[in-house]
Amino acid sequence: MKISQRLRDALLSARRVVAFTGAGMSAESGVPTFRGHQGIWKKFRPEELASMEAFLRNPALVWEWYAARKKIIREVEPNPGHYALARMESLLPSFTIVTQNIDNLHRRAGSSTIFELHGNIERNYCIDCGAPQEEERPIPSSGTPECNECSGLVRPDVVWFGEMLPEDQWEGAERAIESADVVLSIGTSGVVYPAAGLPVRGKQRGAYTVEINPEPTELSDWMDEVVRESSAAALPALVSALERGRG
Ligand code: OAD
């Protein structure tokens, strides 16, 4: 796969680079995306599974769904795209991942500077006292785990519809985007706000913006460059171009 001279030069001269990632990043690991023909939201209604109202109405159902997602995510491995981003962190002076994904695959691939805008499925917390709960806590026969400290209901530490993003993660992401020289928008349809506004914010602050996605998205027209490839193909090619440029 050929990387444009413009993109290679932008990365080689960049001081700060941000990768903004979405579900497409993990598609080649075998984690289903949300939209599109095979998307999760084609089979399930988000308001029945991914909202506080849904949880309070039927916590066991919501836990059953998250237990199934946790299982898929535990069984898959990071793909070459995740590993390429981890490698970029060691090649570039400052490299930050801002992800909408909850699957923990960036960390498992070795990336360390990561802002998780929508939480992390590996963590849980109590909705009454807020105490974090052990990740492996078994779900009892009621189908709903209870807090170790106060017996309140435990929920997955992910952002549901209608909820605010975690403040520290959002602020870190904004800071990284606003000072970026290059923003790569990878595997996201760019429709869920406020996260989807970040690549455009980067562009307005002068970053060179690049979309990596086999399909056009809501963000495509805003981008300086689009790479119509999968992330597992494009990102290793980007790393090779960087390594050649440095060597
Ligand atoms: P979507 O499912 O909306 O979009 C996935 C994108 O990945 C699409 O644009 C695909 O074309 C693209 N894609 C598919 N395979 C790819 C590949 N191999 N390489 C690169 N791109 C590929 O997922 P998100 O944009 O992440 O929110 O969705 C945003 C948010 O909507 C999620 O974080 C989640 C969901 O509701 C919450 O749960 C709060």
Instruction: Kindly give the distance from the C-alpha atom of residue 34 to the centroid of ligand 1, in angstroms, as a whole number.
Output: 6
Q: What per-residue confidence (pLDDT) applies to 45?
A: 81
Atom number in ligand 1 closest to CA 39: 2
Cα–Cα separations (whole angstroms), residue 233 to 18, 192, 199: 19, 25, 21
- Catalytic residue status for 118: yes
Per-residue pLDDT, 2 = 86
DSSP 76: -
Q: Looking at ligand 1, which atom is closest to the CA of residue 22?
A: 26
Nearest partner of 108 among 118, 92, 97, judged by Cα: 97
What's the pLDDT tens digit per position in 220-245?
999 999 999 999 999 999 999 999 98
Residue 141 pLDDT grade (very low, low, confident, very high; cuts 50, 70, 90): confident
For tokens 């929920």, what's the residue?
155
- Percentage with pLDDT > 90 across the chain: 84
Nearest to residue 49, comparing CAs of 38, 33, 60, 36? 60
At residue 135, the pLDDT reads 67
For ligand 1, whether the C-beta of 110 sits within 6 Å is no
* pLDDT > 80? residue 85: yes
Smallest CA separation from ligand 1 atom 16, residue:
24
What is the model's pTM?
0.96
pLDDT in tens, 158-167: 999 999 999 9
Q: Are 195 and 177 within 8 A, CB to CB?
A: no
What confidence tens digit (pLDDT) does each residue in 29-38 have?
999 999 987 7
CA of 89 relative to ligand 1 center, distance in Å: 23
SS3 string, 79-126, reads: CHHHHHHHHHHHHCCEEEEEECCCCCHHHHCCCCCEEECCEEEEEEEE
| DSSP code, position 137 | P
Residue 95 phi/psi, 5-degree rounding, is -140, 125
- CA 106 to centroid of chain Cα atoms: 8
Please indicate whether residue 67 or residue 7 has the higher confidence score (pLDDT): 7
pLDDT (mean) for 49-65: 92
* CA nearest ligand 1 atom 22, residue: 24
The reply to whether ligand 1 has any atom less than 6 angstroms from the CB of 28 is: yes
Question: 66: buried, middle or exposed (CB in 10 Å: 19+, 13-18, 0-12)?
Answer: buried
Determine the length of the chain.
247
How high is the pLDDT of residue 215? Answer: 97
Domains of the chain: 1-30+78-118+165-247 (3.40.50.1220), 32-75+124-158 (3.30.1600.10)
Q: How far is CA 189 from CA 52, 73, 218, in A?
A: 24, 21, 6
How far is it, in rounded angstroms, from Cα 196 to Cα 229? 20
Give the pLDDT of residue 59.
Answer: 92
Quick: pLDDT tens for 164-205: 999 999 999 999 999 999 999 999 999 999 999 999 999 999
Q: Which atom of ligand 1 is nearest to the CA of 100?
A: 33
Instruction: Look at residue 125 in the predicted model and tell me its pLDDT.
Output: 96
Q: What number does the ligand 1 atom closest to the CA of 101 have?
A: 33
Task: Indicate which residue's Cα is closest to atom 13 of ligand 1.
Answer: 24
Atom of ligand 1 nearest to the CA of 23: 26
Averaged pLDDT of the chain: 94
Task: Among 29, 47, 97, 192, say which to mutate for ligand 1: greatest number of ligand atoms within 8 Å of CB.
Answer: 192
Q: Is 156 touching ligand 1 by the criterion CB < 6 Å? A: no
3-state secondary structure of 244: helix
Determine the pLDDT at residue 136: 65
Question: Does residue 97 register a pLDDT over 80?
Answer: yes
Evaluate if residue 137 carries a pLDDT over 80: no
CA of 242 to the centre of ligand 1 (A): 26
- Residue 101's pLDDT band, with cuts at 50, 70 and 90, is very high
Model pLDDT, residue 12: 95
Q: How many helices (H) and strands (E) does the chain have?
A: 11, 9
Residue 23 Cα to ligand 1 midpoint, Å, equals 4
pLDDT of residue 80: 98
Q: Do residues 99 and 115 touch, judged by C-beta distance below 8 A? A: yes
Residue among 37, 82, 106, 118 flagged as catalytic: 118
Nearest-CA residue for atom 26 of ligand 1: 22
The pLDDT score that the predictor gives to residue 144 is: 87
